[in-house]
């Protein structure tokens, strides 16, 4: 039985009977008849299952609290697992995007050199710039997703995140050194 049930049972159990008597001038004590004590004693001893119901109520409350705690723990584990999976997926996604940006930058450099040498028209340079810009935008989107997943991981681990107070430069410097 859990502590809450024991405490409830302890507070509702017990039977106290106090019998007092007086002596008369003749030295005899008065007798206390059980029928005088009967209703109050019966009320204390027979409570129509009130103690059992109270213990069952405390047990049910305890079981509900345990179930809520277990569900909270399982939800926390699920959130951490989801955040870690998102981090892995984004890391895998970022590698080809980085290669794409580098390739687009090389293509722009090459087309610019060709334009300056007079072997390519300016439309080729503009097309290379557009390709580079598109790759860089994709890279920024992947970085945004990475940062969002990192924040979600911190929140899932219980670190919290206060949007109203961004970290100071000193906190950022100290955190990056550690």
pLDDT, tens digit (0-9, with 9 covering 90-100), for 32-41: 444 455 555 5
User: Could you tell me the pLDDT band of residue 162, with boundaries at 50, 70 and 90?
Assistant: low
Q: Which of 48, 65, 50 is nearest to 11 (CA)?
A: 50
Q: Is residue 47 predicted with pLDDT exceeding 80?
A: no
**SS3 category, 114:** helix
Residues 108, 114, 116, 118, Cα dihedral to 10°: -150
Task: Kindly report the number of other CB atoms within 10 A of residue 149's CB atom.
Answer: 20
pLDDT, tens digit (0-9, with 9 covering 90-100), for 62-118: 999 999 999 988 988 898 899 899 999 999 999 999 999 999 999 999 999 999 999
Q: Is residue 133 predicted with pLDDT exceeding 70?
A: yes
Domain spans, the chain: 3-177
């Amino acid at each position: 039985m859990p502590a809450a049930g024991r405490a409830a049972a302890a507070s509702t159990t017990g039977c106290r009977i106090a019998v007092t008597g007086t002596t008369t001038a003749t030295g005899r004590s008065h007798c206390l008849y059980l029928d005088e004590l009967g209703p109050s004693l019966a009320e204390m001893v027979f409570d129509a299952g009130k103690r059992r119901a109270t213990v069952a109520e405390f047990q049910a409350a305890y079981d509900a609290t345990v179930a809520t705690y277990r569900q909270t723990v399982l939800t926390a584990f699920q959130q951490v697992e989801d955040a870690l999976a998102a981090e892995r997926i984004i890391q895998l996604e970022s590698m080809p995007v980085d290669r794409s940006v580098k390739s687009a930058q090389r293509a722009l450099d090459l087309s610019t050199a060709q334009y300056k040498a007079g072997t390519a028209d300016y439309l080729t340079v503009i097309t290379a710039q557009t390709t580079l810009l598109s790759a860089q935008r994709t890279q920024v989107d992947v970085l945004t997703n990475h940062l969002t997943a990192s924040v979600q991981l911190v929140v899932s681990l219980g670190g919290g995140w206060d949007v109203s107070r961004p970290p100071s430069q000193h906190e950022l410097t100290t955190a990056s050194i550690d």
